[in-house]
Structure 1
């Protein structure tokens, strides 16, 4: 497992004379990171944080970055939008091509009053019927969703019939979670079989949240296209 270390951040802070405590921008993309740690303790002045193209499964340990304006977590393994309430200055959040299936978790962004840009394209939830209408109605502070401007008329329309859209979203979330549970169960059975296979050395070289082979292939294809 690759960790975020002080040495790693210092190497990425050459433009700041390797001084990490006053850093306003740090790039940690394509490092095979499997978690977010230490950054909010070491880099409290951060305004821009690039963490795209890693293996991060959760948004965590960034809530004390009060000055953070832009967080890029595209091409990771994130399933839920969470733990960003403390990012008071957040203006742009990029979650392109992750595994967010709980569309209702966008409600956790209501308190990020400066959030103007949100990217969720390439996530399972972006395929839900009523996706855009739900997000636009839920987050009145947004100006753009997936790069497309939100007009005043669209915002007004999004509020019409919102309860029905909300019910439909919940239904689709439930169906999605059932599929994910089945995928994980099948992936677990496959893993168990592989471990019992003669010659297996006990090491795993691919771990994309125990995702089914089809979804993994899609993720890898999209990831390769965006490098």
Structure 2
């Protein structure tokens, strides 16, 4: 496959903007833009990354393009794409887009990335029934909506938004990966029909209890760190888990885990575990290779709070002699 380009000067940086960076936003809004020019009309892959493009235009000559990358530009509006009906991958990551629009003709689209923009609502996707992967990272989205018709979707990424509820995704039964980290979600719900889900990430939210994952019997990776969880529970049916991330919660005991015999990675740093005898609950987990326990009370030296117990690693190894990695360091 060939790719097209244009003779323009690259900007010195293409950093993503966020709500607190008003000065940088204003600077980028006023930055001079370049005209989009196509060199190879027969290109199947067109990469126009970081080219100071301000307007999507002059693409009519592209009659074979399948992948179009317009990352890190200065685009404010989605437009000028209606003739690109062969497109399967559209990347608009890190621009200045405020609305999803003018995508109706792209019915063959399988992957769409509009991350790091200024979008507040999911809309304008009615005809995109063949989407398999969609990325909305770091926008201003407050509600999951208008995607229920995308029944072929396998990956949905909504991290770093303003979402409060998991809703309107019950029809997405082909989902294998769902990312909802860094939102304002208070409860695990609305997941019962997603039985094909293998990866669920809901880190850095406001969840207080592990629940609502009983039907996710194929779940292999579960990331629920940095919430307000106080107890390990609700995982009775999740016997296929190989990775469990519970770091940064308020959990005091290791319990209700002895059935997770396929578990390979267990992240439990920055919790409230103080009893060494609790590690006995992990002895059935002979597949466990990596464990993170740092910055729990048992990690600390009792005579010097805040500093690591000099016998910490030896104690972990004695309790779980088959472990290959303790925290970030390989175990001898």
Shared fold, TM over 0.5: yes
- Quote how far apart the aligned CAs of 1:63 are: 3.2
2:306 aligned with 1:133, yes or no? no
5+ long unaligned stretches in structure 1: 152-227
CA shift in 2, pair 1:55/1:21, >3 Å: same
Q: Per residue, is there more strand in 1 or in 2? A: 2
Corresponding residue for residue 156 of structure 1: none
Q: Tell me how far apart the structure 2 counterparts of residues 99 and 83 of structure 1 sit (CA, whole Å).
A: 16
Q: Tell me how far apart the structure 2 counterparts of residues 71 and 13 of structure 1 sit (CA, whole Å).
A: 23
Corresponding residue for residue 22 of structure 1: 196
Matched residue SS, 1:61: coil
2:89 aligned with 1:89, yes or no? no
Checking the alignment, whether the CA contact within 8 Å between 1:12 and 1:27 is kept in structure 2 is no
CA shift in 2, pair 1:72/1:10, >3 Å: farther
Q: Tell me how far apart the structure 2 counterparts of residues 131 and 122 of structure 1 sit (CA, whole Å).
A: 11
Matched residue SS, 2:167: helix
Corresponding residue for residue 231 of structure 2: 58
CA shift in 2, pair 1:11/1:100, >3 Å: farther
5+ long unaligned stretches in structure 2: 1-163, 179-192, 302-308
Relative to the length of structure 2, the TM-score reads: 0.41
Corresponding residue for residue 7 of structure 1: 167
2:249 aligned with 1:76, yes or no? yes
CA shift in 2, pair 1:13/1:117, >3 Å: farther
Higher Cα Rg: structure 1 or 2?
A: 2
Q: Tell me how far apart the structure 2 counterparts of residues 149 and 102 of structure 1 sit (CA, whole Å).
A: 23
CA deviations 1:45-101 (Å, max 9, x no partner) are 000000011000011111331110000011100111111101121000001111111
Checking the alignment, whether the CA contact within 8 Å between 1:117 and 1:143 is kept in structure 2 is yes
- Could you say what the CA RMSD is over the residues aligned between the two structures, in angstroms? 2.7
Checking the alignment, whether the CA contact within 8 Å between 1:64 and 1:87 is kept in structure 2 is no
Matched residue SS, 1:7: coil
- Quote how far apart the aligned CAs of 1:134 are: 1.3
2:327 aligned with 1:146, yes or no? yes
- Quote how far apart the aligned CAs of 1:16 are: 4.1
Checking the alignment, whether the CA contact within 8 Å between 2:175 and 2:194 is kept in structure 1 is no
Matched residue SS, 1:133: helix
Q: How many positions carry a matched residue from both structures?
A: 147
- Quote how far apart the aligned CAs of 1:136 are: 0.2
Corresponding residue for residue 33 of structure 1: 207
Q: Tell me how far apart the structure 1 counterparts of residues 212 and 265 of structure 2 sit (CA, whole Å).
A: 22
